[in-house]
Amino acid sequence: MNRLFTTLLAIVGCFIIIHTDAQERSISALKINSTIRIDGHLDEAIWKEASMADSFILNSPQFGIPASQRSRVRILYNDQAIYIGAYLFDDPKLIRKQLTSRDGEQRNDVDYFSVFFDTYNDDQNGFQFLVTTRNVQSDGRLLPNLNSQFGPPSDYTWDAVWESKVQLLEDGWSVEMKIPYSALRFSKKDIQEWGINFQRYSRRNNESSFWNKIDPNQNGFVNQFGNVQGIKNILPPLRLSFLPYVTAGTRVVPYASGEKKTDFLRNGGMDLKYGINESFTLDATLIPDFGQVISDNVVLNLSPFEVQFQENRPFFTEGIELFNKAGLFYSRRVGNTPGGYNAVRNMVNNNPNLSIISNPGITQLYNASKFSGRNKKKLGIGVFNALAAPMHAVVEDKTTGTQTRIETEPLTNYNILVLDQALANRSSLTFTNTNVWRSGGSRNANVSSADVSLFDKNNRHNFKWSGRYSHITGKDNYNGFTHVLSYAKVSGKLQYLFQNVVESDRYDANDLGFLLAPNEVTTVGRISYNQFTPTKKFLSYNYSLTLTPTYLYKPFVYSNFMIQARAFWFFKNFWDLSINFNWQPDWQRDYFDLRTPGRMIRKTPYWFTSASGSSDSRKRYFIRFNFGFAESPIPNDPYVVTTIGQRYRFNEHFSLDLELRRDKDNGQFGYAYRDTNGEPIAGRRKVTNFTTLINGIYNFTPRMNLTLRGRHYWSKVTYQSFYDVSPEGWLIAKPFVNGYDQNFNAFNLDMFYTWDFKYGSRFIIGWKNWLGTDFPISGLSHKNYMNNLRQVFQQPHGNEITFRLIYFIDYLSLQKRKKEI
């Protein structure tokens, strides 16, 4: 035992030896006693006295050579902010200048300049501030332990308040940026030791260059920064800001009875951001309203697992990287649909004497808060808390007029605690605890996790270990665990991964996390060859092979074996192509599809191949595609998927994107229903899905735009035969039963006018239109896509229009105005 412990300590020691890169560049920042006027002109004499960063090096499309255009960057600072001045030489006729939305520069026809800070100098976390040639701002938090082959690993949902201006000049363009210390987090030290880097992106040749080189052959991004020297005797300011908001509007919902329910929407609340000290910040929201968010991509779900939706609420997308480092935070749990919502609907649908007076579809939050930061010893601390109100439905008996109040969700508290210690060489040690408490003792949940990630001093190898333990109390009491162990070579042309994941049968993290299914043992072996620098034919390419055997944890029996091969090529004309091949050579033992513990269904071997890619995104017309085909030994069992996406940029203001997807499975086998004895019945069905998605944006100015998003989804399910399922999982034919075919349509149209009339302040008009849930469309009468689409527009729709005003108030600015008065 002692020998094993000593060996483990030696391995850890080898991984965390401090490593210094002799190729790191340094630049000095010059302190000033005045302020700089942010106008994009670098005409103040003090700019010339500052040290200069130049000689940028290409990251792509050809790593390691000097950038084709000169760039000169200088840094100033005072007691309030850090200033960045960049002079970017270029031919004015060739500079790309498309207007975009904030954080929308990716894949758009625009040049930009970025500065990156690693204020804790931990080689893992940082900040990005970006300005385009049209002075559109973009900012993000840099995420740790992610690759940089395809650009900075930024979380663009984070927004800060800072200033910038650009000027188009006879020999290029210039940028001035003022980044107040309130937009950064750093330790309270006499002398600051920050990592820093600068990026310039030229769209016409897709040229991305950095001041301190970013080698795509090396894993990580922040660890490849240079250094800024000379920043001293600065004090983190009082970081206190308020974001009050008011919302007003109306919502009209149609019902099958012919009634239309009209709700007048009015709400008000406030977000608060308070810097408790130089390192830690408290973010809080009081009586939050999340109405103005994009509609979910609802689908007809035939699987035994829930559908995971994207988070679109700003409070839950900004700055949550620390809380989700262990993957235990699925923020859609907070403020989700009440647990008893569907039970009330089903009860009323099954009883014609009942009607719904009210049945809220969203759980109201009283408040939510986030406390997070990192101290001078590089210990990250995060605390998240949210309190959800109890929700009730009101049901009326039509014959007596009696109204009954039914609780659909109890008072609930959600809490997360994270301790994340950054170690040398991008290594880290993390502890996470999530806790959900519900009043009445119906169900409480606690999940704890320890995560270790170690990189060697040359940044080539990575060792990870995770252990998670869940504890459920209340009506049910049980415990479970998960164990993850992996070892990978993460840099260089040849890379590989070995990973083993063990999930016990009672592991349950779904009260605040997201887990499709426990009770599995999965092993992953992957090897890849990666060419990150150009060859005669390609800018880059890679090939990979992955083997994944899966077993049931309890009892420990074989479940499945999957072989996956992938090839990717990035051509010199900036087109790309991926070829994927998946092969399941044996019958799968699926222990989840029948929704019955201990029962399995055998699913046929199959192979699937697909080709996907996209054209040169610099062009006005851009296309992306995906074609896939699968087949099995069962007759007449092909699966075909086709996706075509097209984007056209009409001018520098307006672009439109249209995506069409069709997938058809002629022989899908799975759970269909339960018979009168409760036995699961399987069925063979034809499933055809169509999705039409349209996105448009018109940018009036760098701070004003109109966005449109429309989606129609149609799923048609036609059963061909039904089967009993033997204890060994084999299908036994039984008489056909009518009435289980499905025809599902979803339609949403979202339109938002957004005006950032002041830094941090915003006015939004939102309009949402959707197909009423009480109006299903018959699949027997309308068998093809166009008929279903016409019916969608002929059925009653719900409508909602809202107006929201958000106003940013900075406490320091208020104090300054008072002094001036």
Q: Minimal CA–CA distance to 754: which of 700, 801, 711, 808?
A: 700
Torsion angle, CA of 648/651/652/653, rounded to 10 degrees?
-90
pLDDT tens-digit map of 606-619: 999 999 999 999 99
pLDDT tens-digit map of 35-61: 889 999 999 999 999 999 999 999 989
Q: Given a cut of 70, is residue 816 above it in pLDDT?
A: no
Q: Return the minimum-mean-pLDDT range out of 352-356, 465-469, 545-549, 606-610.
A: 352-356
Q: List Cβ neighbours of 487 (8 Å cut-off, separation of 6 or more).
A: 461, 462, 463, 464, 497, 498, 499
Binning pLDDT at 50, 70 and 90, where does residue 155 land?
A: confident
In three-state secondary structure terms, 46 is helix
pLDDT at 280: 82
Binning pLDDT at 50, 70 and 90, where does residue 7 land?
A: very low
- Is residue 591 within 8 Å of residue 503, measured between CB atoms? no
Q: Which backbone phi and psi does 574 adopt, to 5 degrees?
A: 70, 20
Amino acid at 622: F
pLDDT tens-digit map of 487-500: 999 999 999 999 99
Residue 200 tokens, joined:
């310039």
Binning pLDDT at 50, 70 and 90, where does residue 106 land?
A: confident
Mean pLDDT of 709-727: 95
Q: List Cβ neighbours of 350 (8 Å cut-off, separation of 6 or more).
A: none
Q: Is the dihedral of CA 536, 537, 542, 544 positive or negative?
A: negative
Distances (CA, A) of 681 to 340, 517, 671, 721, 732: 27, 21, 6, 11, 10
Per-residue burial over 264-299, b = 16 or more CB atoms within 10 Å of its CB, e = otherwise? eeebebbbbbbbeebbbbbbbbeebbebbbebeebe
Per-residue burial over 430-465, b = 16 or more CB atoms within 10 Å of its CB, e = otherwise? bebbbbbbbeeeebbbbbbbebbbbbbeebbbbbbe
Residue 262 gets the label, from left (phi > 0), alpha (psi -120 to 50) or beta, of beta
Amino acid at 627: F
- Is residue 468 within 8 Å of residue 481, measured between CB atoms? yes
DSSP 611-638: EEEE--TTSSEEEEEEEEEEE-SSTT--
pLDDT at 751: 97
* Bridge partner residues of 503 (DSSP): 482, 520
Tell me how far apart the alpha carbons of residues 205 and 574 are, in angstroms, rounded to a whole number.
9
Binning pLDDT at 50, 70 and 90, where does residue 215 land?
A: very high
pTM exceeds 0.75 for this model: yes
| Chain CA centroid to CA 636, Å | 38
Residues in the chain: 821
Residue 371 tokens, joined:
């406390």
Mean pLDDT of 561-576: 96
Based on C-alpha coordinates, what's the Rg of the chain? Answer: 28
Tell me how far apart the alpha carbons of residues 150 and 50 are, in angstroms, rounded to a whole number.
32
Q: Which backbone phi and psi does 818 adopt, to 5 degrees?
A: -60, -40
Tell me the percentage of the chain whose pLDDT exceeds 70.
95
pLDDT at 778: 80
Q: Which residue segments constitute the domains of the chain, with CATH numbers given?
A: 19-229 (2.60.40.1190), 602-821 (no CATH)
pLDDT at 776: 82
What is the three-state SS of 92-149?
HHHCCECCCCCCCCCCCCECEEEEEEECCCCCCCEEEEEEECCCCEEEEEECCCCCCC
- Tokens 């929308």: give the residue: 104
pLDDT at 102: 85
pLDDT tens-digit map of 169-185: 999 999 999 999 988 88
Burial class (CB in 10 A: 0-12, 13-18, 19+), 186: buried
Q: Given a cut of 60, is residue 5 above it in pLDDT?
A: no
Residue 151: enclosing H or E segment and its boundaries? none
Q: Given a cut of 70, is residue 158 above it in pLDDT?
A: yes
Amino acid at 508: D
Amino acid at 770: W
Mean pLDDT of 136-164: 76
In three-state secondary structure terms, 79 is coil
Half-sphere exposure of 113 (CA within 13 A, CB side): 29
Q: Which backbone phi and psi does 368 adopt, to 5 degrees?
A: -150, 145
Q: List Cβ neighbours of 226 (8 Å cut-off, separation of 6 or more).
A: 24, 25, 26, 27, 195, 196, 197, 211, 212
Distances (CA, A) of 209 to 67, 294, 328, 533, 717: 6, 35, 36, 14, 51
Residue 66: enclosing H or E segment and its boundaries? none
Q: Which backbone phi and psi does 798 adopt, to 5 degrees?
A: -85, 150
Tell me how far apart the alpha carbons of residues 335 and 333 are, in angstroms, rounded to a whole number.
6
* Bridge partner residues of 567 (DSSP): 543, 579
pLDDT at 350: 86
- Mean pLDDT for all residues in the chain: 90
Mark out the alpha helices in 262-305 (DSSP H runs): none
Tell me how far apart the alpha carbons of residues 683 and 694 are, in angstroms, rounded to a whole number.
34
Q: Return the minimum-mean-pLDDT range out of 159-168, 172-181, 311-320.
A: 311-320
Binning pLDDT at 50, 70 and 90, where does residue 821 land?
A: low
Q: Which backbone phi and psi does 446 adopt, to 5 degrees?
A: -140, 130
pLDDT tens-digit map of 232-259: 988 777 788 898 999 999 999 887 777 7
Mean pLDDT of 629-647: 95
Tell me how far apart the alpha carbons of residues 241 and 436 are, in angstroms, rounded to a whole number.
29
Tell me the percentage of the chain whose pLDDT exceeds 90.
67
